């Protein structure tokens, strides 16, 4: 009996303990479940990360090997292409040299002649020299013609000036402006005035018949610019100035002539 009572007491105590522990387990079940889930997730994450790291390393090794293989194959192709290009360049250069030698030999032997070319160049030099000499002669002739034409124009201008200044010619009573008594010989213009005849013009000459710088043009009336010597006596009529007014008195003319003579002497 005592044993049965003890057993019943233990059974009741066991029930109470079971009920208490069941309540405790029920209360901690959710928290323990979350903790177990967290532990499992961490563990599985570590396993997966380790596995992925292993796969990544193996993939890197595979890629490294494959890329090395493809790069070596590409380099071999590049080396082959470069070697082929180098050989072709060498062959082309040698072919060009051979063609140069052959074409030079063929041209010198059958097409061009060195001595014929030399004689041709010598002929050109002689022709150039003769042409240059002819051009120099023509240039000298043209220069002489220009100088002679310039001299003729100057002499013609002097004759024209003598026609205009013929009234300054010396007379038996009074020396002219260009015949100063202080000179050893008469002035050049005085000699020219003696050779030129004067005829008083009756009308004005149109402007179209007078050229630049006061020298008469080819269409001027009463004066022609010919190539004859201007120092010869001219019988042409000068009509480039209007008729001069009559001289009022002889004393006035003498005073003007003396004043002009003094000015010319001072200039000399």
CA distance 241 to 243: 7
pLDDT of residue 176: 75
pLDDT of residue 20: 81
pLDDT of residue 103: 92
CA distance 235 to 222: 10
Neighbours of 168 (CB within 10 A): 18
pLDDT of residue 261: 56
pTM check: above 0.85:
no
What are the residue ranges in the chain where pLDDT is below 50?
Answer: 202-254, 256-257
Q: Is residue 216 helix, strand or coil?
A: strand
Burial track 59-84 (b if 16+ CB lie within 10 A, e otherwise): eeeeeeeeeeeeeeeeeeeeeeeeee
pLDDT of residue 56: 95
Q: Is residue 138 helix, strand or coil?
A: helix
């Amino acid at each position: 009996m005592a044993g049965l009572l003890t057993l019943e007491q233990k059974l009741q105590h066991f029930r109470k303990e079971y009920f208490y522990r069941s309540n405790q387990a029920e209360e901690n079940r959710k928290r323990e479940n979350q903790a177990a889930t967290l532990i499992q997730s961490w563990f599985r994450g570590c396993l997966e990360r380790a596995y992925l790291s292993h796969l990544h390393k193996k993939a890197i090794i595979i890629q490294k090997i494959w890329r090395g293989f493809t790069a070596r194959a590409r380099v071999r192709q590049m080396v082959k292409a470069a070697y082929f290009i180098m050989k072709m360049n060498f062959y082309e250069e040698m072919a060009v040299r051979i063609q140069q030698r052959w074409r030079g030999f063929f041209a010198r032997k059958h097409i061009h002649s060195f001595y014929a070319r030399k004689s041709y160049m010598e002929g050109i030099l002689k022709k150039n020299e003769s042409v240059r000499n002819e051009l120099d002669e023509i240039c000298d002739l043209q220069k002489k013609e220009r100088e002679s034409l310039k001299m003729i124009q100057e002499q013609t201008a002097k004759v024209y000036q003598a026609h205009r200044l013929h009234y300054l010619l010396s007379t038996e009573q009074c020396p002219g402006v260009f015949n100063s008594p202080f000179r050893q010989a008469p002035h050049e213009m005085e000699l020219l005035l003696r050779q030129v005849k004067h005829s008083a013009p009756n009308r004005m000459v149109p402007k179209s018949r007078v050229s630049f710088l006061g020298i008469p043009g080819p269409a001027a009336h009463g004066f022609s610019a010919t190539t004859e010597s201007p120092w010869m006596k001219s019988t042409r009529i000068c009509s480039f100035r209007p008729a001069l007014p009559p001289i009022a008195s002889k004393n006035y003319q003498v005073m003007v002539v003396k004043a002009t003579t003094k000015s010319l002497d001072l200039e000399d």
